C-alpha cells in the first residue's frame, strides 16, 4: 500500500481513457486536496480569518463554535483521505458529492444563525456572506467532476483486451 498521494494520482492519470477522465482527475483531486488542506488549517487555527466575529462572543459561545469546527473538519479530513483512495470511479465521486452537499447543508444555515449568537458583532456580515458564497460555489465543483467521471465511464472500453484492441 502506497501512502504517497502522487503515486495514486499518476496511476489514475495513466489509467484514464479519455480527456473526460483527465478533467475528472484534475477536478476531483484538486477539490479533495484543497478541502483537506483547508480542513487541516481550521483544525490547527480555528479562529483564522474569523477574528472580527470572535471579538464580541462570550467564551462559552466561542468554545462551542471552535469545538464544532474542529470536530467537523477532523471528520472532513478523514473522509476526504478515504475518498482520495477511491479515485474517479463514479460511485466514489457520487459519495463525495453527497458528503459535500450534506456538509454544506449543515454549514450554510450555521452562517446565517451566527449573527444571532449572544454578543456577535454586527459588522462581520461580509465574512459570513463570503463564507456562504464560497460554500455555495464549492457545491458545483464535485458535480463537475461527477459529470466528467460519468463521461469517462461511458467512454471506457468494455470487454477483454482482445475485444478492445484495434484490428491490424
- Residue 70 vs residue 53, higher pLDDT: 70
For the chain, state the CA radius of gyration: 20
**Cα–Cα distance measured from residue 9 to residue 4, given in angstroms and rounded to the nearest whole number:** 9
Q: Is residue 8 part of a domain?
A: no
Helix, strand, or coil (residue 166) = coil
Is residue 166 domain-resident?
A: no
- Taking residue 161's Cβ as centre, other Cβ atoms within 10 Å add up to 7
Reported as half-sphere exposure (CB side, CA atoms, 13 A), residue 72 has a value of 19
Question: Torsions phi, psi of 34, nearest 5?
Answer: -65, -35
Report d(CA 1, CA 81) in Å as an integer. 14
**pLDDT tier, 57 (very low <50, low <70, confident <90, very high otherwise):** confident
The verdict on residue 65 lying in a domain is: yes
Residue 22 has pLDDT above 60, yes or no: yes
Whole-model pTM over 0.85: no
Domain that includes residue 57, residue range = 18-153
* Residues contacting 47, CB < 8 A, separation 6+: 54, 66
User: What is the phi-psi region of residue 10: left when phi exceeds 0, alpha when psi lies from -120 to 50, beta otherwise?
Assistant: alpha
How far apart are the C-alpha atoms of 164 and 168, rounded to whole Å? 12
C-beta atoms surrounding 32 within 10 Å? 20
Q: Is residue 149 part of a domain?
A: yes
Average pLDDT value over all residues in the chain = 82
Highest mean pLDDT among 71-75, 137-141, 157-161: 71-75
Domain presence at residue 168: no
Tell whether the model's pLDDT for residue 26 goes beyond 80.
yes
Q: Is residue 114 part of a domain?
A: yes
In a domain, 113, yes or no: yes
**Count of domains forming the chain:** 1
Amino acid at each position: 500500500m502506497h501512502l504517497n498521494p502522487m503515486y495514486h494520482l499518476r496511476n489514475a492519470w495513466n489509467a484514464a481513457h479519455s480527456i473526460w477522465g483527465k478533467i475528472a482527475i484534475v477536478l476531483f483531486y484538486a477539490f479533495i486536496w484543497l478541502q483537506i488542506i483547508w480542513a487541516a488549517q481550521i483544525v490547527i487555527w480555528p479562529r483564522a480569518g474569523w477574528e472580527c466575529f470572535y471579538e464580541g462572543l462570550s467564551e462559552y459561545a466561542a468554545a462551542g463554535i471552535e469545538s464544532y469546527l474542529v470536530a467537523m473538519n477532523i471528520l472532513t479530513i478523514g473522509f476526504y483521505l478515504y475518498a482520495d483512495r477511491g479515485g474517479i470511479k463514479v460511485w466514489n465521486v457520487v459519495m463525495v458529492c453527497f458528503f459535500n452537499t450534506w456538509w454544506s447543508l449543515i454549514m450554510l444555515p450555521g452562517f446565517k444563525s451566527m449573527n444571532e449568537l449572544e454578543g456577535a458583532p454586527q459588522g462581520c456580515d461580509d465574512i459570513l456572506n463570503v463564507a456562504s458564497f464560497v460554500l455555495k460555489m464549492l457545491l458545483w465543483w464535485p458535480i463537475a467532476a461527477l459529470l466528467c467521471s460519468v463521461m469517462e465511464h461511458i467512454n471506457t472500453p468494455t470487454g477483454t483486451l482482445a475485444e478492445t484492441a484495434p484490428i491490424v
